[in-house]
Structures are given as C-alpha cells and as structure tokens.
A and B are shown apart, each in its own frame.
Chain A
C-alpha cells in the first residue's frame, strides 16, 4: 500500500514537473512578427507583463517540483511540503488564470474598450501561447490532485489509529 502511494506520488510530481517545465519553455520561445501596412508588428511574451508573470510563476513551480522530487519520505519534512504545495498550487492557478484572461482579449478583443484582437496578425504567436496555456492548465489540475494526494498520504499512516478511537 505504501509502495503504491509512493509510486503514484512520484508519478504525479513528474507529471507536474513536465507540465510546468513545458509551460515555461513554450511561453518563452513564443514570438512572431508581421508586417501590416508597413508597420512591423512583433509579438513576444515579454510584451505583456501578464505573460512575464506567467513565465516567472511556472519557473518557480518547476524549480520547486524538481527539488521536492529528490526529497526522501521523512515524515518531518512532509508536513512542510503539504503546506508549500498549497502555496505553489495557488501561484500556478493565479498565473494560468491571469494569462487566460489576457489571451482571451488577444483572441477576441474587447469591443467595449476598443481593443482589437491581435491573433489575426500574429497567428504563430497565438498558437504558441495557446500551447503554453494548455500545459499550464494541465499543471494546475495535476497540482490540485497532488495536493489532495499528499494530504491523504501524510494522514493515512495515522488512519489505523482512528479505529482505536471508534472502539473506545
């Protein structure tokens, strides 16, 4: 039972590491340029503070996932890991949410504010960003599942004691 739990935890953490790493890398390598009416449109991730925050947040999550992957399962550290997992999950959720909001404007525009969509001019950039956002979304889901799982894993060694309380 404990071995299955260990394997699943390691698998989940590897998946989270892969997802956050790919989100970071794909967003950083996204750029496109177009010439419209002699005006050069150049789109990079660093043009938007939201995407910069996205890259930074996912990079922090990648580093954290890497470090935690190499930790042994000593009970003292795992309680801190559970709490840090909550913080990192919050960071990832916030970054993907903000990036989705800005990307939605880029794709559909906002007629009330007079903002035109840009995906028509720089389609390659838009596709790249979409890929990065999908990876980030997968990372957020995996991290939420991981949170629940590591909470369960920290508690389960103590669950047999619950039957003592029921018997008394």
Chain B
C-alpha cells in the first residue's frame, strides 16, 4: 500500500507530522477569526449622533438630536452576537489546532471540529444575511410599507455598518471553506483507519 508523506507505517495507524494542508487550514482559520472579530467590533462601535432642525419658532430653530446605534435594531444585535460567538469559536479552533495534537481521542476530535464548524457557518450566515437585508431596508426604504430610508440622514452609520457587513461576508465565505475542509479531513481520517488489515 502507498504511504503518504509523513505517515508512519500502517500498523501503527496515525499521521505523525503536520502536512501542508493543515497549515492552509490554520491560515484560513486565522483570517476568518480576524474577519469575524473585525465585523463584531466595527458594528459594536457603530454610532452616529445628528442634530436636526425640525421647525422654526420666530427666528429660533427647534433642534432635535437623534442618535443611531446598532442596538436599536434586533438584526444588528443578532449580527454582533453571531459574529462574536463565531470569532470565539475560530479562536478556540486555532488553539486546538496548535496545541491539541496531544489529545488522545483523535476521531472524536475531528468529528467535534466538523460539527462545530457546520453550526457556526449557519450562525454567521444567519447574522450576516439578516443585517444585510436590514441595511438594504435602511438604504432604500420600502415605499409599499411607507418606511423611509435613513441612510441619507445617517451616512456614517450606514457606511460603518456596510464595512462590518463586508467583513462578515468575507468571514462567511472563509468559514464555509473551512467547514468543507474539516469535513473532508474527518472523512479522510476515517478512511485511513479503515484501510487497516481486514
């Protein structure tokens, strides 16, 4: 039977050194962690205060100060929570990748990593899409429901939110790739076990 690079002979049955694909996965996880952390922070600090002149009494204008904060909208709150949980997950996965090869129950470890990756992909996709459609509503309004757009008044709020959304979508694409790679890794690790003497 052919040996892959770095694999000890079959009767011991485990991979000793870290192949190149593992460094790719680690690099992807690092970038995904940075992207989710950036999305969380940028949306968390998203705030804009603006003063509007509502009416004029005589010669004195009546001012109204309005603030746009991320927690005014449940969609953005869910976005922050989802990206926060995902960045914690990515950080834990990086730690496990770097330090966890000493753990013994390797099969369960790969399965847990694959499952957690799947769950977090769903979480991030939910948060990112909800916030994206909310941002679209804020940008274009909805004439049928008589909802005005708010981006013309709170431009900085919208721009910063848009930046957080872009980071989150990049993180989503990367996390989907990572999830597929960890599932393939899980299936391959089981396949190599099954090639043991029958």
Contacts and interface: CB of A to CB of B under 8 A. Distances in A.
Contact of B186 (A118, A155, A164): A155
A86 B190 contact: no
A63 interface: no
Interface string A108-128: 001011111010000000000
A23 to B, nearest CB: 16
A53 B133 contact: yes
B136 A49 contact: yes
Q: Dominant SS at the B interface?
A: helix
B137 A105 contact: yes
Given A48-B142, A97-B129, A112-B68, A83 B183 contact: yes
B122 A89 contact: yes
A93 B119 CA distance: 10
Interface residues of A, number: 48
B12 interface: yes
Interface in A66-83: 79, 82-83
Contact of A112 (B72, B128, B145, B193): B72
Nearest to A117: B145
Given A86-B121, A161-B194, A168-B13, A102 B134 contact: yes
B184 to A, nearest CB: 8
Contacts of B126: 93-94, 96-97
Interface of B: 11-14, 66, 68, 72-75, 78, 107, 111, 114-115, 118-119, 121-123, 125-134, 136-138, 142, 144-148, 150, 176, 179-180, 183-184, 186-187, 190-191, 193-194, 196-197
Interface of A: 42-43, 47-50, 53, 79, 82-83, 86-87, 89-91, 93-98, 100-102, 104-106, 110, 112-116, 118, 140, 144, 147-148, 151, 154-155, 158-159, 161-162, 164-165, 168
Given A97-B129, A144-B119, A165-B13, 14 more contacts: A43-B144, A43-B145, A83-B184, A93-B125, A102-B134, A106-B145, A112-B72, A113-B138, A114-B148, A140-B122, A147-B118, A151-B118, A159-B190, A165-B196
Q: Which 4 A-B pairs have the closest CB atoms?
A: A97-B126, A94-B129, A101-B75, A47-B144
15 contacts: A49-B133, A49-B136, A50-B133, A82-B187, A83-B183, A86-B118, A90-B121, A96-B126, A97-B127, A116-B146, A147-B118, A161-B190, A161-B193, A164-B197, A168-B196
